[in-house]
Homo-oligomer: A and B are copies of this chain.
Amino acid sequence: MNTLDTAQRCADAMLARDSATRALRISVAVSKPGSASARMEISASMINGHGVCHGGYIFTLADTAFAFACNTYGRVTVAAGATIDFLRSGRQGDFLLAEASERHRGRSNGIYDVTVTNQDGRLIAVFRGRSHSTDAPLIAEDQASL
């Protein structure tokens, strides 16, 4: 199985059991190993007490892109931590796009950068995630050998 197939199967395996991403109507795409994007519309239920999108949802979108990007190699990989900088507010009805790319991948640790932009291409947030790979397979062996 080539690396792009592995990446796609990993994404499929994760999505199949990912209630959180479904509940938020986030759509995810994996283009190559180490990269992923996630899209989400800011709904009324994401608005905070200042009348803008709760930063938690912007983080969640970025974290989703990060999770799919770092889980493209067939091993269960978890988020160890992240840093986010909020640069502009998100408004109800905005369409946000989070794009994750790999900055570093070591034996068990990785660094992924995510940018979150709105429908006008303006930068909403920058996010940097730190991943930790476990030894657990993310996709079944027989799938991997297809």
| A residues in contact (CB < 8 Å) with B | 13-21, 23, 44-51, 54-57, 59-61, 63-64, 67, 71, 76, 78-87, 89, 103-104, 106, 109, 111, 113, 115, 123, 126, 128, 130
Contact = CB atoms under 8 A, between A and B. Distances in A.
Contacts of A44: 19
A70 to B, nearest CB: 12
Nearest to A82: B84
A86 B57 CA distance: 17
A141 to B, nearest CB: 18
20 contacts: A18-B48, A19-B45, A21-B48, A21-B54, A23-B46, A50-B76, A55-B67, A55-B79, A56-B64, A57-B60, A59-B63, A78-B89, A80-B85, A80-B109, A81-B85, A81-B86, A82-B83, A87-B111, A111-B126, A126-B128
